């Protein structure tokens, strides 16, 4: 569910270790599906405040990758997304969208705090979902879709018990730790009333992707630069003569730039709901007849993402340490007129598509499969291959379960999710899930499970950078 949609930069805490049915049901479902969240809260916070962040958000939008892989921001729209930094690694390329190769080290599974206590069968189920829609594209860190797809038959045979699932992961993968400090946020699927038609109540449109909105390809990049569309632009308007131009931004669209073209895919009642749907990159709309309309990210207008939470922090409206999704929403509710102008600071606009998904399934992520609450992770798609297992160690707030030691599967992405040790945890659907997601902005340690024989596994084994 690539999100804008899945925030721009700030200062996440460093990790000093070495080493959206619905409301109450959402949180209950998260805790039930992810029992490790309820384990001991004795461990202290993993972090203090430091590691500099400053890129686009879900939370994210500076990366230039194909849709839906460069979608919503995903983390809540605040000052939480880290910039791509070299840390202990090395810079591979220069300029916008530069990629850094981090330092990595091969570690034993016994070195992973909480590995034996986690239920790997839950991660295995999420991994197998990815086998339905394999991706050939490799991540820059050295794991390819082919490396992962080759394990699908063995993964299917590993169903049944925790011990069998754990043995599968330990036998077929090498644990590769990202040395630099990591950072996690949370995102969710909003669930609100909506309509397929405009009514007296539902007056705020959500749009489908326009036909003249195109992704800028590598061969078009030079032509794009000539009309002022730099590397930070992934999308543009195709002109009548076949050229490129900047697409109308959020303010222009709000003023009616797309009106009368029949692009409305749905309508909601509150412009703030619409904006947060853009941030999360998906939505579950409850229609008047009792049916559900599921929406997922399709494309974006192309302008760089601006985190409005950061704007409020810089203005002194909300203290950095108090910024959460809840405080951001509360400020906007209390300052409706100011909020309208504030929203337009984020010029990037998100477009949606209708998807078929069971009522009990999560939203469809950028990998093309339904997300699993507490097991699906949004990652930087330029670096990580979809389907990669990632073991996360973090101390989350009590409201999110506290001590978090969990094997996750990379199945989504977002504009604000930038860097090798940056992740966005899919929390679930509905209001309670939204509250929980908004509380997560914590240091974390990332360990990738690299298929044996993959480039990353070999690099880690020999002590080299990927």
- In DSSP notation, 225-266 reads HHTT--TT--EEEEPTTS-EEPPP-HHHHHTTTTTTSS-EEE
Using the Cα atoms of residue 378, residue 55, residue 311 and residue 352 in order, give the sign of their dihedral: negative
Using the Cα atoms of residue 396, residue 402, residue 405 and residue 406 in order, give the sign of their dihedral: negative
- Distance, in Å, from the CA atom of 165 to the CA atom of 95, rounded to the nearest integer, reads 42
Buried b or exposed e, range 336-367, using 16+ CB within 10 angstroms: eeebeebbbebbbbbbbbebebeeebbbbbbb
Report pLDDT for 54: 29
Indicate the CATH number of 191-267+280-303+335-355 among 3.40.605.10, 2.40.240.50, 1.10.150.120, 1.10.10.10.
Answer: 2.40.240.50
On the CB side of 5, how many CA atoms lie within 13 Å of its CA? 37
- Distance, in Å, from the CA atom of 80 to the CA atom of 418, rounded to the nearest integer, reads 11
Nearest one of 441, 440, 432 to 190, comparing CA atoms: 432
- Distance, in Å, from the CA atom of 172 to the CA atom of 184, rounded to the nearest integer, reads 26
Report pLDDT for 2: 56
Using the Cα atoms of residue 393, residue 394, residue 398 and residue 400 in order, give the sign of their dihedral: negative
Nearest one of 276, 295, 434 to 364, comparing CA atoms: 295
- Distance, in Å, from the CA atom of 221 to the CA atom of 257, rounded to the nearest integer, reads 25
Nearest one of 284, 261, 274, 431 to 354, comparing CA atoms: 284
Phi, psi at residue 285, to the nearest 5°?
Answer: -95, 130
- Distance, in Å, from the CA atom of 137 to the CA atom of 127, rounded to the nearest integer, reads 17
DSSP 8-class letter at 46:
S
Using the Cα atoms of residue 92, residue 12, residue 376 and residue 414 in order, give the sign of their dihedral: negative
CB atoms within 10 A of CB 198: 13
DSSP per position, 418-451 = -STTEEEEEEEESHHHHHHHHH-EEEEEEEEEEE
First-to-last C-alpha distance (Å) of the chain: 27
DSSP 8-class letter at 49:
S
Report pLDDT for 75: 47
316 sits in the region (left: phi over 0; alpha: psi -120 to 50; else beta) called left
On the CB side of 182, how many CA atoms lie within 13 Å of its CA? 30
For residues 395 and 43, the answer to whether their CB atoms sit within 8 Å is: yes
Structure tokens belonging to residue 296? 């997922």
Report pLDDT for 209: 98
Provide the whole-model pTM: 0.74
CB atoms within 10 A of CB 210: 19
- Distance, in Å, from the CA atom of 278 to the CA atom of 352, rounded to the nearest integer, reads 9
For residues 61 and 463, the answer to whether their CB atoms sit within 8 Å is: no
Structure tokens belonging to residue 196? 């397929």
Using the Cα atoms of residue 234, residue 240, residue 241 and residue 246 in order, give the sign of their dihedral: negative
Report pLDDT for 71: 53
Report pLDDT for 397: 85
- Encode the chain (466 residues) as per-residue pLDDT tens digits: 555 444 433 334 444 343 333 434 444 344 333 333 322 222 333 333 333 332 333 333 323 233 333 455 554 444 333 322 223 333 333 334 445 578 899 999 999 999 999 999 999 999 999 998 877 778 899 999 999 999 999 999 999 899 999 999 999 999 999 999 999 999 999 999 999 999 999 999 999 999 999 999 999 999 999 999 999 999 999 999 999 999 999 999 999 999 999 999 999 999 999 999 999 899 999 999 999 999 999 999 999 989 999 999 999 999 998 998 889 999 999 999 999 999 999 999 999 999 987 788 899 999 989 999 999 999 999 999 999 999 999 999 887 789 999 999 999 998 789 999 999 999 999 989 998 998 899 999 999 999 999 999 998 887 766 7
**Cis omega before residue 68 (within 30°)?**
yes
Structure tokens belonging to residue 325? 């999704």
Indicate the CATH number of 3-189+362-461 among 3.40.50.720, 3.40.309.10, 2.40.40.10, 3.40.228.10.
Answer: 2.40.40.10
For residues 89 and 465, the answer to whether their CB atoms sit within 8 Å is: yes
| Domain edges within the chain | 3-189+362-461, 191-267+280-303+335-355
């Amino acid at each position: 569910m690539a999100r804008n949609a899945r925030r721009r930069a700030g200062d996440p805490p460093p990790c000093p270790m070495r080493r959206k049915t619905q409301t109450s049901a959402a949180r209950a479902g998260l805790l039930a599906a992810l029992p490790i969240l309820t384990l001991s809260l004795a461990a202290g916070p993993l972090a203090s405040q430091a590691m500099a962040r400053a890129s686009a958000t879900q939370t994210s939008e500076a990366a230039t990758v194909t849709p839906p892989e460069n979608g919503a921001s995903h983390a809540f729209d605040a000052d939480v997304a880290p910039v791509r930094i070299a840390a202990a690694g090395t810079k591979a390329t220069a300029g916008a969208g530069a990629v850094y190769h981090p330092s990595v080290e091969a570690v034993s599974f016994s070195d992973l705090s909480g590995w034996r206590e986690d239920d790997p069968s839950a991660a295995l189920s999420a991994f197998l979902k990815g086998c339905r829609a394999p991706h050939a594209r490799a991540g820059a860190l050295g794991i390819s879709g082919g490396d992962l797809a080759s394990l699908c038959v063995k993964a299917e045979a590993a169903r049944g018990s925790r011990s069998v699932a754990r043995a599968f992961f330990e036998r077929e993968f090498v644990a590769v730790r990202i040395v630099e400090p990591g950072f996690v946020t949370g995102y969710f699927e909003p669930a609100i009333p909506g309509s397929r038609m405009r009514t007296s109540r539902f007056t705020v449109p959500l749009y489908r992707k326009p036909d003249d909105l195109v992704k800028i390809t590598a061969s078009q990049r030079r032509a794009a630069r000539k009309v002022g569309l730099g590397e930070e632009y992934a999308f543009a308007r195709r002109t009548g003569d076949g050229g490129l131009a900047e697409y109308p931004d959020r303010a222009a669209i709000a003023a009616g730039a797309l009106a009368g073209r029949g692009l409305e895919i749905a309508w909601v009642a509150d412009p703030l709901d619409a904006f947060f749907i853009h941030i999360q990159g998906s939505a579950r709309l409850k229609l008047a007849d009792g049916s559900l309309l599921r929406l997922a990210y399709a494309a974006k207008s192309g302008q760089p993402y601006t985190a409005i939470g950061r704007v409020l922090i810089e203005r002194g409206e909300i203290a950095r340490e108090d910024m959460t999704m809840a405080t951001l929403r509360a400020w906007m509710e209390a300052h409706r007129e100011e909020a309208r102008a504030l929203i337009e600071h984020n010029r990037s606009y998100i477009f949606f598509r209708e998807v078929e998904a069971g009522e009990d399934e999560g939203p469809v992520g950028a990998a093309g499969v339904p997300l699993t609450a507490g097991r699906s992770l949004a990652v930087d798609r330029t670096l990580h291959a979809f389907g990669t297992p990632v073991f996360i160690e973090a101390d989350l707030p009590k409201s999110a379960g506290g001590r978090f030691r969990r094997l996750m599967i990379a199945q989504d992405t977002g504009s604000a999710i930038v860097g090798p040790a940056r992740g966005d945890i899919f929390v679930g659907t509905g209001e309670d899930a939204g509250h929980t997601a908004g509380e997560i902005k914590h240091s974390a340690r990332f360990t990738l499970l690299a298929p044996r024989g993959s480039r990353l596994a070999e690099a880690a084994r020999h002590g080299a950078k990927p």
